Every structure is written in structure tokens, then in C-alpha cells.
């Protein structure tokens, strides 16, 4: 009697993780917004009314809202957690390049370390490294009993976070040292999207110039001298 050998059916393949390597910015440090005139910070009457309405609604919510039971708080937490099933993580290296991918929010930081291990060039992880956030400085060490069992959601990393990496080998931490990644990632690196421009468009500048400037009430005579400007604004009616 012959017997047929059978092989188990292959299980479902793990979904392929999309990985991006963003090149370091080519234009130097991030460009700061230009200095704005002081008039820019003077709220209009409409903005003051909106701020007042917002504060009124907040006060009414805090005063009139019923006390939440533990079950209500847990239900709200579950709803919030279900709305962030994925967490996007960027690993920023000392040369300002960034390695990006997405994880289930339910996994621990161990999976992030495993991903970084797979992405580093041979020898780069010798001596070890640590992932952290700053500021304030917050290290995610695998041997820390306070975090090793917590999910990315519980660590407040969802829905997206940037983690810095610090190697034990100080030579890899220099700003001039390229990110020590495998060739497959380095050759597929792409440029970061252009940051938003703070310069007004010609249409916006024309529209702003066409708007008549509202006359500002004068401070009471005799009170403005020797009084700080921020206090003078409070005395205006």
C-alpha cells in the first residue's frame, strides 16, 4: 500500500512593509519664518469674539458635563485606540536623513529595533544603539521594564513620531557621518518634500494691501508715558 507524502500548505505571507529613506535636506538648516510686523499679532474684533466664544463653550463643558465613570473612560480610550491602528515612525540619523515605515500600533518598541537592525549596514550595530526622543529626552531602551511590554500606542508614539538614534560608536554620531544603512536603502533614497513657504503669494499680498486699515483707539492721555506697551493695550477701550 503506497502512501503519499504531503506538504503543509503555506500560510499567509506577512504584508510587505513600505519603507522610505528621506535624504538629508540639501539647503542647510530649516528656514525660519521671517520677522512679522507687530500689527500681525494684534487680534481683530472677529478673532476676539471667536476666542471668547471658545472659552465660554469650554467653561460650560467643564461645569455642565457629568462626571465620567470608569466604564465611560475606558470606552472612550478604546474608541481612541481603534482610530489609530497604525503608527508611522521616522528614525532620524545624525546626518538628518530619515528612515520611515509604519507599524501596527499594538506592537512593542522591540519591533522598531528589529526593523532598524535589518536596515543597518553590517557592523553598524556593533556596540549597540538606543532610540530616543528629544526634547525632552526620553529613551526607549529594550531593557527598561517600564516600556518593554508597552505598545507603541501606550508609549504615546501613535499615530506618528520621530525617533532619534544614538550609537555607542561615537564616530557614527557625527553630523558628517552618513547614515550607516544597507545599500538597497541608500540607493532608493528620495528627497524630502519641499517645506511650506512662509512668503505670501502675490494674490494674498495684493488683497492685504487693498484692505483699509482699521483706526486704532488712542491710549488715554497721560497714561501712556512710562507704562509698558503690553499694559497699555489692556487699558485701551
In this structure, how many other beta carbons lie within 10 angstroms of the beta carbon of residue 52? 10
Name the nearest CA neighbour of 151 among 84, 197, 207. 84
pLDDT reading at 11 higher than 50: no
Query: What phi and psi values does residue 105 have, to the nearest 5 degrees?
Result: -65, -15
Is the entire prediction scored with pTM above 0.85?
no
Q: CB of 163 within 8 A of CB of 91?
A: yes
Peptide bond into 141 cis (omega under 30): no
Q: What b/e readout covers 27-46, taking b as 16+ CB neighbours within 10 angstroms?
A: eeeeeeeeeeeeeeeeeeee
pLDDT for the residue 59: 77
- Parallel, antiparallel, or unpaired for β 20-22 and 98-104? antiparallel
Question: How, if at all, do strands 86-92 and 160-167 pair?
Answer: parallel
Span of 1-10, 109-118, 196-205 with lowest mean pLDDT: 1-10
Cell numbers for 158, please give them: 501613535
Per residue in 98-149, pLDDT (tens digit) is: 999 999 999 999 999 999 999 999 989 888 999 999 888 999 999 999 998 9
- Is 22 buried (19+), middle (13-18) or exposed (0-12) by CB count in 10 A? middle
Phi, psi at residue 199, to the nearest 5°? -75, 135
Q: Give the per-residue pLDDT at 78.
A: 80
Cβ atoms of residues 133 and 89 within 8 Å: no
pLDDT at 199: 65
Q: Give 206's pLDDT tier (boundaries 50, 70, 90).
A: low
- pLDDT, average across residues 88-93: 97
Per-residue pLDDT, averaged over 175-182, amounts to 94
Query: Does residue 157 register a pLDDT over 90?
Result: yes
Nearest partner of 117 among 109, 13, 143, judged by Cα: 109
Any idea of the CA torsion for 142, 145, 149, 155, to the nearest 10 degrees?
Answer: -80
Measured distance CA(192)–CA(38) in Å, rounded: 33
Read off the pLDDT band of 53 (50, 70, 90): confident
3-state secondary structure of 148: coil
Amino acid at each position: 500500500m503506497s502512501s503519499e507524502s504531503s506538504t503543509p500548505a503555506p500560510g499567509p505571507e506577512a504584508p510587505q512593509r513600505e519603507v522610505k529613506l528621506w535624504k538629508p535636506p540639501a539647503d542647510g538648516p530649516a528656514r525660519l519664518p521671517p520677522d512679522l510686523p507687530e500689527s500681525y499679532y494684534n487680534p481683530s474684533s472677529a478673532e476676539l469674539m471667536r476666542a471668547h466664544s471658545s472659552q465660554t463653550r469650554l467653561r460650560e463643558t467643564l461645569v455642565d458635563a457629568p462626571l465620567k465613570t470608569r466604564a465611560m473612560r475606558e470606552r472612550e480610550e478604546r474608541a481612541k485606540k481603534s482610530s489609530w491602528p497604525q503608527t508611522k515612525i521616522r528614525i532620524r540619523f545624525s546626518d538628518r536623513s530619515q528612515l520611515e515605515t509604519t507599524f501596527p500600533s499594538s506592537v512593542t518598541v522591540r519591533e522598531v529595533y528589529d526593523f532598524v537592525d535589518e536596515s543597518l549596514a553590517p557592523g553598524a550595530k556593533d556596540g549597540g544603539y538606543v532610540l530616543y526622543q528629544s526634547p525632552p529626552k526620553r529613551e526607549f531602551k529594550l531593557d527598561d521594564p517600564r516600556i518593554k511590554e508597552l505598545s507603541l500606542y501606550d508609549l504615546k508614539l501613535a499615530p506618528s513620531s520621530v525617533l532619534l538614534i544614538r550609537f555607542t560608536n561615537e564616530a557614527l554620531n557625527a553630523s558628517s557621518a552618513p547614515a550607516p544603512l544597507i545599500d538597497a536603502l541608500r540607493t532608493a533614497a528620495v528627497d524630502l518634500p519641499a517645506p511650506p513657504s512662509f512668503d505670501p503669494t502675490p494674490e494674498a499680498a495684493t488683497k492685504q494691501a487693498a484692505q483699509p486699515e482699521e483706526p486704532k483707539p488712542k491710549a488715554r492721555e497721560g497714561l501712556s508715558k512710562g507704562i509698558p506697551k503690553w499694559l497699555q493695550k489692556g487699558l485701551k477701550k
